[in-house]
Structures are given as structure tokens and as C-alpha cells.
Amino acid sequence: MKGLTPSLLALLVLSASALAAEDTHQVGQIAHGEYLARAGDCAACHTAPGGMAFAGGLKMTTPVGAIYSTNITPDKTTGIGAYDLQEFADALRKGIRRDGTRLYPAMPYPSFAKINDEDIRDLYLYFTQRVTPVVQQNKASDIPWPLNMRWPLAMWDGIFREDGAYQPDANQSAQWNRGAYLVQGLGHCGSCHTPRGIGFQEKALNQTDDDYLSGGTLEGWHAASLRGDAISGLGSWNAADLTRFLKTGHSDRFAAFGSMVDVVQDSTQHLSDEDLQAIAAYLKSLPAGDEQKTPTANQPLALYSTDQGNPGGQAYLDNCAACHRSDGQGYRNTFPQLAHNPALLAEDPASVISIILHGSRTPITLDAPTGLTMPDFGWRLSDQQVAQIATFVRTSWGNNAAPVTADQVKEIRENSATKPSQ
């Protein structure tokens, strides 16, 4: 260092400082990308049970056959390690791989099209620089020819996909816009909670259409409406209820079930309180559907006021009342309330049937580390018995949903391995 002039020494110091600042900035971008990957719940689809993180291979059922998620680790041969930023953006927003092949819309690229450029960049840095590369070939779909040809997806995209990142609504608050951005984009909530059309597309992609987040059914589960419906939606929830539910998987009265357990466990519990509050504020702004119904008065003695010969009531007493109680009120913060529970009162009874058949569990989170499990009853209850219990809980304690038939139970059971013992 003796031979360096003061000017050259100063230049070297400035250059080193600039490089350090750049490295620090990129470290922050990568950390933000990891946060965004949590918000998008990328691991849910791109990590198979027992598999390596983001290496793909998860089987997903579609009406035309099974498909398998892809390897999105930075391996240059079998993953996305050879992708540049634009190719990565095209895969997320347009569903187009580096080789030009179109992705099936099980990848929620119609939602991810709303992610802004800065977040795309940070996701790219995270996946290419922080995720561990895994050598694992992608698995071909089980969809038979000619249905497995992908060129028709270009027409599907032209009809159902909208271009352009989310644009803030100047008439709404910054909190509302942040919530809308997360729900419509990275959170891709509509993938489950919006009904599908004839092309298996989401019927709506934002709140300007009443179909948006009005409830959807996939693989034997019904994702409840996230709109303001008093019976089957979030009309009885306040923003604090929603924030707590997304953080812990519980509110005072209700608990997550089905795939929402994994969403809370792997995604929403890791979001900041500010982002969860923004999501809650946006969802609470969504009005009820056109055919708004009012819950009937609570009838806590329904189990005893009903005909003692009611097989549904008797089966409920034998199998359910110990945890959910005879008045359907459950135990706060522990066993969910069944009276006026939106999950039970949707027009489509798929979820209540699946919960009885397969059981359920609550998420294990940092704020609620003790997970609880409801056992499955499909092994010992017939289709008729399941239908009777489901009908009883949907029509008691002030609940007023339609009865459930044995044929509805049979249809869901036949798509699973759960059979009653005889």
C-alpha cells in the first residue's frame, strides 16, 4: 500500500464501499424474494411430500388427468438455473417456459400476471441465488393424447388471461391496495375461492365481478366464499378475526381445514402483521352476493328438541358431540363452532362431507404450536350415515342449508381410498 497515491487509495476505498453497499442491497432483495415466495406459497405445489424443496413432482388432479409440478430450483439442466430474468418473468406472468412450451393453468399465472417488476426481480434473485439446486427431471403428465397437446393453451390464454401488473385504485387507501395486490396476485386466493367456468378458468380475477372469491370446489373440497355473505361468507367476521385466522389458523369460533391448513402453516403465518391486516381490510370490503340470506335465530337445544328418532341427531351425539358439544358451539379456540359456521353452510356440501370422511387437523404455527386432529369417520360410517350427520349439522342450531344425500357422499368417497368397514 506504500506506493499508492492518496487519490488512488481513495478511489479503491470508494469502490470497495460501493461494492459492499451493492452486496448489502442485493442481500435485502434476496430476503424480500424469500418473503414473497412465502406469500405466494410456492412450496405448496413445487415440493412433493418427502421431496426436496422446490424440486417439483407433486401430483395434481385435473378433469382430464393428473399433472405434476415442475422443478423450480436453480439446477441448470432440470430446473430454472438457465433462465434469465425475462424468461423467469414470462413463466410467472404468461405461463411460458424458457423453451416456449406453455404451462398448464394449474400454475396460477393469470394471478401472477399482477406481480410488479420489482417483486419479480426479487423472486428471481431468491430462486436463482438462495434456493439449493436439485437435479430432478420433471415428470410428464398423465393426460392422454390428444388432450395433452399444449398449443390450444395459447387460445385459452388469449381468452382468459389478462396482461398487466396490478394498478392501484386511487379511490382506495394504501392498505386496501396492498391487500388487493396480495390477494389478487401473489396470494392467488381466487385459485381456490373463485368458481371455475366451462374452460376451467376462474370466472373473475378481481372485485369488479361478483363471482370473484364467491367460493369454489376442487378435488372434493369447497373453498368458502370470502365475500360479505352472512351465512356462507365472511359477513360475521371482523378484520381482527381474519388477521388472527391467517396468522394462527384459528379464530375464536372457527378453524382452518383442507388445503387452507397448509396455506396458513407454510404461507400466511409468515406474513407481516401489516400485510395480514391489509388482506383483511381488502376482503372485508367485498360485498355479499346478490342473493343475501340472513341467519336464523340460534337454537342451542336443537339436539334435544328434534325428534329423538332422528338418525342424524343420534349419530351426531355418538360421534361428534364430545368435541363440538350438543349445542354446536364447540370450545373456543379449540374445537370449531358448528352453529352458523360458513364452511358447513355453503350451497356445495363437499367440505363437510370430506371432513367427516377424512378428518382434519389444525395448522401448527408459531403463535399456535399445538395442532389438534379430528379423526376420520369414513372407515366406519356408511354413505347414508355421513349424509345424515351432514344434514343434521347443516339444519340445526339456526343453520338452514340444504340436506345432503347419500349419492353426494358416494361421489366424494369414490374419488378417495376411504371405504367404510362392514
27 in a structural domain:
yes
Binding site listing for heme c: 42, 45-46, 189, 192-193, 320, 323-324
Q: Which residue has the higher pLDDT, 348 or 19?
A: 348
Average pLDDT for 93-102: 96
* Domain-embedded: residue 308: yes
Return mean pLDDT, the chain: 89
pLDDT at 299 over 80: no
What pLDDT, on the 0 to 100 scale, is given for residue 21? 56
Q: Check whether 22 has a pLDDT greater than 70.
A: no
pLDDT at 112 (0 to 100): 98
| 274, part of any domain | no
Residue 215 in this model has a pLDDT that exceeds 70? yes
According to DSSP, the β-strands at 221-223 and 216-218 are antiparallel
380 vs 422: CA distance, rounded Å: 8
Residues 287, 288, 290, 293, CA torsion sign: negative
282-285: long-range contacts at Cβ-Cβ below 8 A with a sequence spacing of 24 or more?
A: 282/176, 282/178, 282/179, 282/180, 282/182, 282/183, 283/179, 283/183, 283/213, 283/226, 283/234, 283/242, 284/228, 284/234, 284/237, 284/238, 284/239, 284/242, 285/176, 285/207
Top-confidence residue, 227 or 251? 227
Give the pLDDT band of residue 140 (cuts 50, 70, 90).
Answer: very high
Q: Is the pLDDT of residue 294 over 70?
A: no
Q: What's the whole-number mean pLDDT along residues 112-139?
A: 97
Which range (60-69, 226-235, 412-421) has the least confidence?
A: 412-421
Confidence of residue 420 (pLDDT cuts 50, 70, 90): very low
- Last residue in a domain, options 96, 130, 164: 130
Mean pLDDT of 197-222: 93
Whole-number pLDDT of residue 13:
58
- Out of 113, 130, 147, a domain closes at 130
What would the mean pLDDT of 395-421 be, rounded to a whole number?
A: 84
Q: Are 412 and 354 in contact (CB under 8 A)?
A: yes
Q: Which segment, 12-26, 238-252, 360-374, is predicted with the most confidence on average?
A: 238-252
Q: Is residue 249 part of a domain?
A: no
Note the pTM of the prediction, 2 decimals: 0.88
Of residues 398, 382, 297, the one with CA closest to residue 338: 398
pLDDT tops 50 at residue 400:
yes
- Average pLDDT (174-202) is 96
- CATH number reported for the structural domain that contains residue 99 in this entry: 1.10.760
Q: Is pLDDT at 170 greater than 50 in this prediction?
A: yes
Inform me whether the pLDDT recorded for 290 exceeds 80: no
Q: How far apart are CA 150 and CA 226, in angstroms?
A: 33
**C-beta separation of 359 from 373 below 8 A:** yes
Q: Indicate whether 393 belongs to any domain.
A: yes
Host domain of residue 386 = 302-414
Q: Is residue 247 part of a domain?
A: no
What would the mean pLDDT of 87-106 be, rounded to a whole number?
A: 95
Average pLDDT over residues 174-199: 97
Question: Which amino acids are annotated as binding site, given as ranges?
Answer: 42, 45-46, 189, 192-193, 320, 323-324
The answer to whether position 184 is within a domain reads no
Per-residue pLDDT, 371: 83
| The three grid cell numbers given for residue 174, joined into one nine-digit string | 394504501
pLDDT confidence bin for 30, thresholds 50/70/90: very high
Average the pLDDT over 2-16 and give the result. Answer: 60
For residue 260, name the pLDDT band (cuts at 50, 70, 90): very high
In terms of residues, how long is the chain? 422
Give the number of domains in the chain. Answer: 2
108 pLDDT above the threshold of 60 = yes
pLDDT tens digits for 349-381? 999 999 999 999 999 888 888 888 999 999 999
Last residue in a domain, options 112, 130, 148: 130
Q: pLDDT band for 219, please (50, 70, 90 cuts).
A: confident
pLDDT higher than threshold 80 for residue 257? yes
- Looking at residue 357, which CATH number applies to its domain? 1.10.760.10
How confident is the model at residue 369, as a pLDDT?
Answer: 84
Q: How confident is the model over 180-193, as a mean pLDDT?
A: 97
Looking at residue 418, its pLDDT comes to 44
Given a contact cutoff of 8 angstroms between Cβ atoms, the answer to whether 376 and 357 are in contact is yes
Q: What does the alpha-carbon distance between residue 257 and residue 362 come to, in Å, rounded to a whole number?
A: 7
On whether residue 206 sits in a domain, the answer given is no
